[in-house]
């Protein structure tokens, strides 16, 4: 791998990494030589991911730390444990998220607040706790996960779309402030990706998806891990405050031309 795309020797926290994009990214980073902190609300699930990394030929090492991103004390404990174990923190990937599909009138106040709390407040907690360490240690990268639901709306997930739209704006705002501390803040907004969550909600799996096929409108977690590694590496050094949208083939209206 070209040196500028490498994350070798760095330490990364990836929230929501018990499965899907987070787990695949953790394995990818470790394969390239990064030490990774695998974290979610399920210790049992993240232990499996960390054990798989540590039992492989990966050059990096993994630890599993249970964390609820909605709880500030839990997030700060996560960052503190990371620094204690690996001596610092170079990359924070705020990937933890949640949603459910429902028409707007069927979403309760509690349901709305829960989705906003996980997706927006969780990102706030992660960015601020990681930023405090990075400012003391000479910089780093923070990558927030949004969604196309936050860039173009979502008919059956307005709560999720609103929270992710706020993450996009938050990324832009924070990047200007943290640039003075050599911390690059960027965002990834995936389209439909064949994760376990998508499988449970929509019945879509990655079994029949060819990642090399151009004409597709559903991706696989490995494609998102590619972009996250780019954003965490020196190859993206001129990208600050940007949101990378990855949603496959555009759906264009028929122009009427033959």
From residue 71, alpha-carbon distances to 19, 38, 81, 192 in Å are 21, 17, 16, 28
Q: Please give the structure tokens belonging to residue 232.
A: 């965490």
Distance CA 105, CA 215 (A): 35
∠ CA(207), CA(210), CA(213), 5° rounding? 155
Burial class for 217, CB neighbours closer than 10 Å (0-12, 13-18, 19+):
exposed
From residue 134, alpha-carbon distances to 70, 79, 128, 139, 179 in Å are 21, 11, 10, 5, 11
Judge contact between 14 and 29, C-beta under 8 A: yes
Q: Is 160 a catalytic residue?
A: yes
Catalytic site residues?
160
């Amino acid at each position: 791998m070209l040196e500028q795309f490498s994350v070798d020797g760095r330490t990364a926290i990836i929230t929501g990494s018990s499965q899907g994009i987070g787990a695949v990214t953790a394995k990818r980073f470790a394969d390239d030589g990064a030490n990774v902190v695998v974290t979610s609300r399920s210790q049992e699930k993240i232990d499996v991911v960390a054990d798989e990394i540590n039992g492989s030929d990966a050059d990096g090492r993994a630890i599993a730390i249970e964390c609820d991103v909605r709880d500030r004390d839990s997030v700060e404990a996560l960052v503190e444990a990371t620094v204690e174990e690996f001596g610092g923190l170079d990359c924070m990937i705020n990937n933890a998220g949640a949603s459910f599909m429902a028409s707007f009138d069927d979403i309760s106040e509690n349901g709305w607040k829960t989705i906003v709390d996980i997706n927006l407040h969780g990102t706030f907690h992660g960015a601020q706790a990681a930023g405090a360490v990075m400012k003391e240690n000479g910089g780093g990268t923070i990558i927030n996960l949004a969604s196309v639901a936050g860039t173009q709306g979502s008919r059956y997930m307005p709560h999720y779309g609103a929270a992710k739209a706020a993450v996009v704006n938050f990324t832009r705002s924070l990047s200007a402030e943290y640039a003075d501390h050599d911390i690059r803040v960027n965002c990834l907004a995936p389209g439909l990706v064949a994760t376990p969550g998508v499988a449970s909600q929509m019945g879509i799996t990655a079994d029949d998806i060819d990642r090399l096929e151009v004409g597709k409108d559903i991706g696989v977690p490995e494609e998102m891990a590619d972009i996250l590694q780019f954003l965490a590496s020196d190859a993206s050094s001129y990208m600050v405050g940007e949101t990378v949208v990855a949603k496959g083939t555009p759906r264009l209206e028929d122009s009427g031309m033959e």
